[in-house]
Amino acid sequence: MNRMISTAAAIALTASAGFAQTVDPSDWDAVLAEAKGQTVYWNAWGGDQRINDFIASVGAQMEAEYGVSLEHVKLSDTANAVTRVLSEKAAGQDQGGAIDLIWINGANFAAMKENELLFGPFAEQLPNWQYVDVEGKPAVINDFTNPTEGLESPWAMAQLVFEYDTARLSEPPRSVAALAEWAANNPGRFTYPQPPDYLGTTFLKQVLYGVIEDPSVLQMPVEAVDYDVTVAPLWDYLDGLTPNLWRSGAAYPQNEPRLGQLVADGEIDISFAFNPGRASAAIANFELPDTVRTFVFDQGTIGNASFVAIPYNAANQAGALVLANLLIDPEVQARAQDPAVLGFQTVLNMDALPTEDRARFDALELGVATLSPADLGSALLEPHASWMTRIQQDWITRYGVGQ
């Protein structure tokens, strides 16, 4: 969940610093010994209570099993954590940094990687890496087309799904064009989070996939194409859609939970999330009516992986490694996939798991609103990270509220 072109630009103006790496990820016994008694400060999005509760449960487990404590530093924007590391680097604080782990991907990862602000490589040396589905889920080693090279570890798979209440809508629109037509016939019943919110920007990228002639150009840096010509259909689409949005586009929900709440309150008929199990989890928690279901576009929807990375100057590198490894533990991954907990999709390869761990996943009831893997279909590749930063800034200029 990452944005802010200004952060990447600021990093690019600062000279690179050497790593302050003092822990060898390949010596796991030494990692565990050094980590014991440490407190890991994990900077992670704090906008969803279910995710916050899950992080707290992982912290309790880590404390019990390894003697490592966890402090969840709740972020509204991942760029704030990146800016903190940048500020420490500019001040010459190459050790003892305030951030031990960041939930990160996309443009912020690209900027930190390019400017050597990350500890590692470490991911492929984690004991639980053996279970990660590298071949079946290539997004676990490619972050918005950027090879991770072991500098971040995946902990959740995500794919954009749309949510609708069957009590109010019998057949949802299954393409970008059909959505615009439906919105014109049902004004005020659809909206999306306001960029630079990650989900709002993802919607813009999904629209791009549906309106440009050659979607393959999205895998290239934005500087490598004729940007104005390429994105002109996006602005044409939004110019037509905006007057038909909730509150006529004069206001937007802030984030994914607020968007989902609009469906729960009956203010809109269609919402969307980057978690295919979100609706089922919300139904299980009595936050959505049990008539809500999910769907995807016939063309497919964008998918990616969530990662954690360790800043180069993290004060508690060993503890951060323990946490990164715990997040890909099969038991923790199965708990995260449980719709009653999060409904996140796993990064693990079922065929690589021991029988007992495979059984944890087989026993899960995915929920009434969760699409089967066959119905979910193949995920569209995330565009190059430069597209996210460029189109969200242009959207703010064109349509932003309160600018």
- Encoded tokens for 375: 């119905």
Question: Which amino acid, residue 205?
Answer: K
Who contacts 266 (Cβ-Cβ below 8 Å, separation ≥6)?
165, 168
Cα gap 198→138, rounded to integer Å:
21
Structure tokens at 278: 């979100």
Q: Outline where DSSP puts E strands in 232-385.
A: 270-273, 292-295, 303-309
Phi and psi angles of residue 343, each rounded to the nearest 5 degrees, phi first: 80, 15
Q: How would you classify residue 367: left for phi > 0, otherwise alpha for psi between -120 and 50, otherwise beta?
A: left
- The partner residues of 103 in beta bridges, in order of sequence, read 308
* Mean per-residue pLDDT over the chain, rounded: 91
- Euclidean distance between CA atoms 119 and 80, whole angstroms: 18
Q: What is the pLDDT of residues 158-192, one digit of tens each?
A: 899 999 999 999 999 999 999 999 999 999 999 99
For 365-370, what is the mean pLDDT? 90
For residues 116-144, give the mean pLDDT. 94
pLDDT at 402: 55
What is the distance between the alpha carbons of residues 17 and 179, in angstroms, rounded to a whole number?
A: 48
User: How far is the CA of 346 from the CAs of 130, 304, 385, in angstroms?
Assistant: 14, 12, 23
Task: Please tell me which residue, 55 or 139, carries the higher pLDDT value.
Answer: 55
Q: 395-402: which pairs have CB atoms within 8 A and are 24 or more residues apart?
A: 395/195, 395/201, 395/204, 395/238, 396/195, 396/196, 398/235, 398/238, 399/238, 399/242, 399/249, 400/194, 400/195, 401/194, 401/250, 401/251, 401/252
What is the C-alpha R_g of the chain?
A: 21
The residue type at 125: Q
Which amino acid belongs to residue 251? A
Element (H, E) at 279: helix 278-284
For the stretch 283-335, pLDDT in tens is 988 999 999 999 999 999 998 899 999 999 999 999 999 999 999 999 999 99
In this prediction, residue 137 carries a pLDDT of: 86
How far is the C-alpha of 113 from the C-alpha of 123, rounded, in Å?
Answer: 14
Where do the DSSP E strands lie in 55-203? 69-75, 101-104, 142-143, 146-147, 153-159, 161-165
Q: Which residues contact 234 (CB under 8 A, 6 or more apart)?
A: 204, 207, 208, 211, 212, 391
Question: Rounded distance, CA 314 to CA 88, Å?
Answer: 11
Q: State the pLDDT at residue 7.
A: 41
Angle between helices 330-337 and 49-66 (to 10 degrees): 160
Region 219-229 average pLDDT: 94
From 271, 289, 270, 269, select the one nearest 280 (Cα to Cα): 289
Domains of the chain: 5-155+306-366 (3.40.190.10), 161-301+381-399 (3.40.190.10)
* Higher pLDDT pick, 373 / 129: 129
Quickly state the pLDDT bin for 15 (edges 50, 70, 90). Answer: very low
